[in-house]
Amino acid sequence: MSEHTPRAISALPVLEETAHQTYPSATLYVVATPIGNVADISVRALHVLSLVDAVACEDTRNTAQLMTRFGLHRPLIAAHQHNEREVAETLIARLQAGERIALVSDAGTPAVSDPGARIVEAVRAAGLRVLPLPGASAAVTALSASGLVNDQFYFVGFLPAKARQRENFLSTLRTVTATMVFYEAPHRILDCATALAAVFEPEREVVFARELTKMFEEIHRCPLSEAEAWIRADAHREKGEFVVLLAGAPSQDGESDADAERILKILLTECSVKQAASLAAQITGRKKNALYDRALQLKQEE
Ligand code: SAM
């Protein structure tokens, strides 16, 4: 059998099982959608999208297209970054009246570098239920195929667009030991590679995950010193969607102890012990419990 003629999957028992699950009313369903390959939608997502009273979406045209491909037709409500607060009020009123509403973004998981977080916050604050339906997210998809071995990752998302701000921001990440995850627009991918090479060591490993789950998917790993040349080698590489992963700093215990201590002290001037420990753990890639204990000590010594 060729790789293009897989066996047909018919009447999956899971379809029936999904239909018999419970779908509470007065609930906001946060539904992840595919990041390129439409077949990556989950069975449960399809079921929820077929039964909700309305779908709140980042762009009604994109969501209408997705729904139509699956033969689904539900009322759509525009919920994008410019109207999230107002639309949250409308959604809350409808949920309080007992409706089920789905929240989707254009691609991937809503509220992850996408609109949705404000709506979720408002719905939860109104005491209503929010039920997530997991699915594709570009960050996790890229990490899974990167081969970068590290139990921790630090999700940065989009970098500042302006060169100086971008480099200043990147400088604050020099000592992060977790794998760093960036989202980048195609027209800035070259600038991103140049900025990373200017700030981090040339031997640091970087992974470009381009057009994930799509026809021209490419996942390329190289030292930072070779990144710019790789992008320039093919004009297509400044097109499409990118996740960029950067290996974390090697942990050098003596040095990073001092760094962690310094970072904790700064954070403690502005945050609670719990917040300081949590943020310091994200920045340094160190264990939160140990940082929490150290933060408590520092607070008591004050
Ligand atoms: N909410 C989405 C998620 O869960 O991944 C992210 C949305 S964000 C507005 C869009 C960015 O995600 C793109 O600029 C790109 O960096 C990344 N991205 C989305 N789809 C991708 C794909 N198929 N391949 C590579 N990167 C992708």
Would you call 97 helix, strand, or coil by DSSP?
Answer: coil
Measuring from each residue's beta carbon to the nearest atom of ligand 1, which residues come in under 6 Å?
35-36, 105, 107-109, 112-114, 137-139, 183-185, 209, 211-214, 241-243
Residues 21 and 113 occupy one common structural domain: yes
Give domain status of residue 6, yes or no. no
Classify 239 in phi/psi space as left (phi over 0), alpha (psi -120 to 50) or beta.
Answer: beta
Give domain status of residue 185, yes or no. yes
Residues 28 and 68 occupy one common structural domain: yes
Give domain status of residue 9, yes or no. no
What is the whole-number distance in angstroms between the Cα of residue 149 and the centre of ligand 1? 22
User: Which of 183, 184, 189, 211 most suits a substitution to test ligand 1, by most atoms within 8 Å of the C-beta?
Assistant: 183
Residues 30 and 131 occupy one common structural domain: yes
The CATH number of whichever domain residue 216 belongs to comes to 3.30.950.10
Q: Which domain holds residue 21?
A: 14-136
Q: Which of 180, 196, 172, 203 lies closest to 267 in space, CA to CA?
A: 172
Residues 130 and 151 occupy one common structural domain: no
Q: Which of 72, 123, 130, 81 lies closest to 106 in space, CA to CA?
A: 81
Give domain status of residue 174, yes or no. yes
Classify 223 in phi/psi space as left (phi over 0), alpha (psi -120 to 50) or beta.
Answer: beta
Each residue's pLDDT tens digit in the chain (302 positions)?
455 655 666 657 888 889 889 999 999 999 999 999 999 999 999 999 999 999 999 999 999 999 999 999 999 999 999 999 999 999 999 999 999 999 999 999 999 999 999 999 999 999 999 999 999 999 999 999 999 999 899 999 999 999 999 999 999 999 999 999 999 999 999 999 999 999 999 999 999 999 999 999 999 999 999 999 999 999 999 999 999 999 999 876 555 667 788 888 889 999 999 999 999 888 887 888 888 888 888 888 87
Give domain status of residue 8, yes or no. no
Residues 233 and 259 occupy one common structural domain: no
Angle at 175 (CA atoms; ends 230, 148), nearest 5 degrees: 45
Residues 167 and 202 occupy one common structural domain: yes
Residues 43 and 119 occupy one common structural domain: yes
Would you call 86 helix, strand, or coil by DSSP?
Answer: helix
What local confidence, expressed as pLDDT, does residue 285 receive? 78
User: Which of 30, 38, 57, 242 most suits a substitution to test ligand 1, by most atoms within 8 Å of the C-beta?
Assistant: 242
Q: State which of 246, 266, 287 marks the end of a domain.
A: 246
The CATH number of whichever domain residue 83 belongs to comes to 3.40.1010.10
Give CA–CA dist 184/244, Å, rounded.
7
The count of structural domains within the chain is 3
Residues 211, 109: contact at Cβ < 8 Å?
A: no
Please give the order of strands across the beta sheet that includes 179-184.
153-158, 179-184, 242-246, 205-210, 218-223
Q: State which of 91, 120, 136 marks the end of a domain.
A: 136
What local confidence, expressed as pLDDT, does residue 1 receive? 43
CA 111 to chain centre: 8
Residues 153 and 193 occupy one common structural domain: yes
Q: State which of 246, 275, 291 marks the end of a domain.
A: 246
Residues 239 and 205 occupy one common structural domain: yes
Query: Which two three-digit tokens encode residue 49?
Result: 């999208």
Residue nearest to atom 19 of ligand 1 (CA): 138
